[in-house]
């Protein structure tokens, strides 16, 4: 099965949890998962983020459920990097 090595996501999230806590929550979803977040836009109640996730084998469902749990919503998958077996 192909392994997902890199994802770039466009995410909208409330101010709480803050970006650092949000990044930690995503990073905790997989071993060796590296998360880089850039805040693109800040509104009164929300912020738009570009979330870059790198790892050996990323579990997209798990990442997606962490995003939902933290009250954020995934707008689009902007980049992917996948390696075949």
Partner 1 sequence: MELKQIKILLEISHSEEIMRRYFVVNGFDGALTMLGLLMGFYVSEYVDFTVVITTCLAAALALGMSGVSSAYISEAAERRRTLMELEKAMVTSLDESHHARATTWIPWLVALVNGIAPLLIGLIIISPIWIAHNGMLLALEPLPMAMIVALFIIFLLGVFLGRIGGTFWLWSGLQSLVVALMTVGLIYLLG
Name the residues that contact partner 1, by CB under 8 A: 12, 14, 16-17, 21, 43-46, 68-71, 73
* Cβ 63 to partner 1 shortest distance, Å: 15
Shortest separation between residue 58's beta carbon and partner 1, angstroms = 21
CA-based max dimension of the chain: 45
Q: Decide whether 68 or 79 has the Cβ nearer to partner 1.
A: 68
Closer residue to partner 1, CB minimum distance, 28 or 83: 28
List, in sequence order, every beta strand (DSSP E) within the chain: 3-14, 34-42, 46-54, 73-83
| Residue 57 to residue 60: CA distance in whole angstroms | 9
């Amino acid at each position: 099965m192909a392994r997902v090595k890199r994802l770039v996501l466009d995410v909208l999230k409330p101010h709480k949890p803050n970006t650092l806590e949000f990044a930690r929550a995503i990073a905790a979803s997989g071993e060796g998962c590296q998360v880089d977040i850039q805040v693109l836009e800040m509104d009164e109640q929300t912020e738009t983020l570009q979330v870059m996730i790198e790892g050996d084998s990323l579990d997209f469902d798990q990442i997606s459920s962490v995003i939902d749990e933290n009250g954020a919503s995934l707008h689009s998958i902007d980049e992917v990097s996948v390696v075949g077996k």
